């Protein structure tokens, strides 16, 4: 699923662990179109990952180079830190990652090829009709408290958390097929079967959802949604956490750091059959903004940093005499955009979140198109990304295998923008100020998250570009969590510059954004449980596309539908895309077992990374 991000450290990426075997019976849409970009970085070679059974335990055997045990890996995240450690409640990328470090799913994605591979599962198979998915769990592996991980945990997670609608409902929503959820059956203690009503192309990727320890979560979920929503909040005692991932929480100091320690019961081993991870600790420093992050990297307090704008040339020039390597990871897999609030409903206090006057402006397609034509994306790329990026016009990232390449975009054209405004019923007074048909001056607020200096600079440029049309823009950076609350809970914003994490492999991961009832349907968010069908025409077509495309197992048939969804967003412009930066990362040379890929970035395998300051 897609998640909002304020700013991602290079490590705040979906954690993708290595490969075991890619089954030949995966449906066409999942198998034949794995991610095979031109290499942007030359990753070291590694042996294939395998499964090895020792004393009845089915360990995941890493094909990475054998390393040294001990040491600490320091990374960073910008903002105020996680809102929760419960992976089922997370709405933002930071919270999702912080929880995801501790809880693994049945399956995951090969970070180099994009293939679906086992994780907590030892293997999986799909029936010839594409409806039954049999998952074989690893026998003998344990939770961090020593309890066995079994089919009961899987059944509980899907039936009593995900399908019951607890926490963030995005995973449940993405698994609905013709209004029906899959069946999930226990075959035996280590075998689970999922049955879908129809072949469902994205289904395997949904099985990357974390699995919860039933013996810990069930007493809470039995108390209902309110209890579950506060479970594993940031004031949790780390000793109360029971996890399956490589690390478990050791310490959380709000607005300062999150410290993880190795999980002694982790089920992955190295080439010598020694239990991973190598690291004693994984430490996230919570920093206020990008400038503070740079200071921490230069003070050697953190080991990795994503470089932006003018910093790239400086760091590249210093690289030969430094202790770090600079990696070019290709186009960003996420997207950056302006979302426009099209919500015209009243809140619980019987008041509009957006005034009727602004509703009329924002609902005017010519007005939205004028905003689009006023934006100077080339200047954004040059001045903010220092030329390391390209303008973006599509809802899919530039490295998506479903990218609609027929959408070419356009240059900035203020004359075209003014024509569109006049066609939309606006006019200019004798001072060059834009007014609507009722003589109201056009003025609105533009938000982004404070502390992200890249987005703050972008906001200044967007404000200036739009004000060239005679519109007054009040640019208002606010704290990230406050902005998320406006976007998905209170809906009291006009426009906002935001970003979403993305999957270059599966557009269905964006259903929570594009589906009219999706929890991240930012441009026209509906309250939970809202039943009135007030969908806009474009929303009806988007709903149809995301329902229909999921049922197609042929890649070309799916791509035709996803091409159309991108055309709708480009034509209707409820969200206006800005530019795609190139991901440039600097990482200390003492970090070993880094396998950078254009798909997954770098630092996604903390269970295999080790420290060697003597090499």
Q: List 180's β-bridge partners, or say none.
A: 177
For 76, the 3-state DSSP assignment is strand
Helix intervals (H) in 112-249:
151-156, 170-174, 203-206, 214-221, 225-230
Ranges 25-29, 185-189, 261-265: which has the least confidence? 25-29
Q: What are phi and psi of 541, to 5 degrees?
A: -70, -40
Average pLDDT on 139-155 reads 98
pLDDT at 232 over 70: yes
Distance CA 517, CA 209 (A): 21
For 459, the 3-state DSSP assignment is helix
Contacts by 41-49, CB closer than 8 A, 24 or more apart: 41/327, 41/328, 41/329, 41/330, 41/596, 41/597, 41/598, 43/112, 43/595, 43/596, 43/597, 44/594, 44/595, 46/18, 46/595, 47/271, 48/19, 49/18, 49/19, 49/20
Would the CA dihedral through 501, 605, 230, 287 be positive or negative? negative
Q: How many CA atoms lie within 13 A of 337 on its CB side?
A: 26
pLDDT score for 328: 92
Average pLDDT on 268-290 reads 95
Nearest to 583 by CA among 285, 324, 326: 326
Distance CA 581, CA 380 (A): 10
Q: Give the chain's length.
A: 615
Distance CA 444, CA 383 (A): 25
Residue 162 DSSP code: I
Listing DSSP states for 318-379 in one string gives HGGGSSEEEEEEEE-SSEEEEEE-----B-TTS-BSS-HHHHHHHT-HHHHHHHHHH--HHH
- The number of beta carbons lying within 10 Å of the beta carbon of residue 25 is 11
Is-contact 558 376, C-beta < 8 A? no
Instruction: Give the Å distances, CA to CA, from 469 to 370, 374, 376, 412, 431.
Output: 9, 7, 13, 12, 12
Question: Please, what is the angle between helix 453-467 and helix 365-374, to 10°?
Answer: 110
Task: Name the CA dihedral angle for 113, 115, 118, 124, rounded to a multiple of 10 degrees.
Answer: -150
Q: What percent of the chain lies above the pLDDT cut of 70?
A: 93
Within 8 A by CB and 6+ apart from 313, the residues are: 386
pLDDT at 56 over 80: yes
Q: How does residue 17 score in pLDDT terms, banded at 50, 70 and 90? A: very low
Q: How does residue 179 score in pLDDT terms, banded at 50, 70 and 90? A: confident
Helices (H) and strands (E) in the chain, counts: 18, 26
pLDDT at 15 over 60: no
Q: List 123's β-bridge partners, or say none.
A: 136
Per residue in 432-485, pLDDT tens?
A: 999 999 999 999 999 999 988 889 999 999 999 999 999 999 999 999 889 989
Distance CA 520, CA 408 (A): 27
pLDDT score for 357: 97
pLDDT at 27 over 60: no
pLDDT score for 529: 83
pLDDT score for 112: 87
More confident residue, 78 or 539: 539
Distance CA 111, CA 121 (A): 17
Distance CA 6, CA 49 (A): 34
The single residue listed with the structure tokens 């006009």 is: 494
Per residue in 261-275, pLDDT tens?
A: 999 999 999 999 999
Is-contact 156 216, C-beta < 8 A? no
Average pLDDT on 289-309 reads 92
Residue 434 DSSP code: E
pLDDT score for 296: 96
Q: How does residue 165 score in pLDDT terms, banded at 50, 70 and 90? A: very high
Within 8 A by CB and 6+ apart from 532, the residues are: none
Is-contact 320 582, C-beta < 8 A? no
Distance CA 278, CA 66 (A): 9
Distance CA 291, CA 306 (A): 12
Two tokens, residue 337: 């955009």
Distance CA 476, CA 469 (A): 19
Is-contact 573 369, C-beta < 8 A? yes
Residue 510 DSSP code: G
Q: How many CA atoms lie within 13 A of 184 on its CB side?
A: 21
Q: List 133's β-bridge partners, or say none.
A: 126, 194
- The number of beta carbons lying within 10 Å of the beta carbon of residue 87 is 24
pLDDT at 31 over 80: no
For 172, the 3-state DSSP assignment is helix
Structural domains of the chain sorted by starting position, each given as residue range(s) with its CATH number in brackets: 28-303+590-611 (3.40.190.10), 335-581 (3.10.105.10)
pLDDT score for 539: 98
Residue 564: cis peptide before it, omega within 30 degrees of 0:
no
> To which H or E segment does residue 285 belong?
strand 281-287
């Amino acid at each position: 699923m897609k998640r909002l991000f304020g700013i991602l450290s290079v490590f705040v990426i979906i954690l993708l662990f290595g490969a075991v075997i890619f089954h030949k019976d995966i449906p066409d849409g999942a198998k034949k179109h794995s991610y095979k970009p031109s290499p942007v970085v030359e990753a070291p070679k590694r042996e294939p990952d395998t499964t090895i059974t020792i004393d009845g335990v089915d360990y995941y055997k890493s094909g990475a180079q054998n390393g040294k045990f001990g040491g600490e890996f320091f990374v960073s995240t910008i903002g105020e830190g996680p809102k929760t450690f419960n992976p089922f409640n997370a709405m933002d990328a930071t919270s999702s990652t912080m929880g995801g470090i501790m809880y693994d799913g049945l399956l995951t994605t090969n970070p180099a090829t994009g293939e679906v591979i086992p994780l907590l599962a030892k293997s999986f198979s799909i029936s010839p009709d594409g409806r039954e998915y049999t998952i074989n769990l690893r026998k003998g592996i344990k939770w961090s408290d020593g309890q066995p991980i079994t089919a009961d945990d899987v059944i509980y997670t899907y039936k009593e958390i995900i399908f019951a609608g607890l926490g963030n409902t995005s995973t449940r929503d993405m698994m609905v097929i013709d209004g029906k959820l899959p069946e999930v059956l226990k075959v035996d203690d280590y075998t689970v079967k999922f049955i879908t009503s129809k072949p469902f192309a994205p289904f395997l990727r949904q099985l990357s959802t974390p699995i919860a320890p039933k013996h810990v979560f069930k007493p809470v979920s039995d108390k209902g949604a309110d209890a579950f929503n506060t479970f594993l909040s940031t004031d949790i005692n780390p000793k109360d956490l029971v996890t399956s991932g490589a690390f478990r929480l050791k310490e959380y100091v709000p607005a300062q750091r999150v410290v993880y320690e190795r999980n002694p019961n982790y089920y992955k081993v190295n080439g010598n059959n020694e239990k991973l991870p190598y690291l004693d600790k994984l430490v996230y420093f919570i920093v206020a903004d990008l400038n503070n992050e740079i200071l921490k990297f230069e003070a050697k307090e953190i080991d990795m940093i994503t470089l932006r704008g003018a910093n790239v040339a400086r760091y590249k020039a210093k690289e030969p005499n430094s202790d770090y390597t600079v990696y070019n990871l290709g186009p960003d897999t996420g997207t950056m955009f302006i979302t426009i609030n099209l919500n015209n409903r009243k809140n619980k206090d019987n008041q509009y979140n957006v005034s009727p006057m602004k509703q009329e402006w924002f609902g005017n397609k010519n007005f939205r198109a004028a905003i689009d034509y006023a934006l100077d994306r080339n200047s954004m790329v040059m001045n903010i990304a220092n030329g390391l990026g390209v303008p973006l016009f599509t809802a899919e990232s530039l490295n998506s295998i479903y990218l609609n390449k027929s959408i070419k975009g356009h240059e900035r054209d203020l004359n075209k923008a003014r024509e569109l405004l006049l066609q939309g019923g606006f006019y200019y007074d004798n001072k060059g100020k834009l007014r609507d048909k009722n003589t109201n001056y056009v003025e609105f607020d533009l938000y982004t998250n404070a502390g992200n200096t890249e987005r703050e600079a972008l906001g200044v440029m967007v404000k200036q570009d739009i004000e060239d049309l005679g519109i007054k823009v009040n640019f208002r950076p606010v704290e990230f969590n406050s902005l998320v609350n406006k976007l998905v809970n209170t809906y009291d914003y006009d426009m906002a510059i935001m970003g979403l994490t993305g999957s270059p492999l599966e557009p269905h991961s964006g259903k929570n954004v594009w589906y009219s009832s999706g929890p991240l349907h930012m441009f026209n968010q509906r309250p939970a449980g809202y039943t009135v069908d007030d969908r806009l025409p474009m929303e009806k077509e988007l709903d149809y596309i995301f329902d229909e495309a999921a049922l197609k197992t042929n890649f070309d048939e799916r791509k035709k539908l996803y091409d159309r969804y991108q055309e709708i967003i480009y034509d209707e412009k409820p969200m206006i895309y800005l530019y795609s930066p190139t991901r440039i990362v600097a990482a200390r040379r003492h970090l070993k077992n880094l396998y950078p890929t254009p798909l997954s970035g770098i630092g996604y395998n903390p269970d295999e990374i080790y420290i060697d300051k003597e090499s």
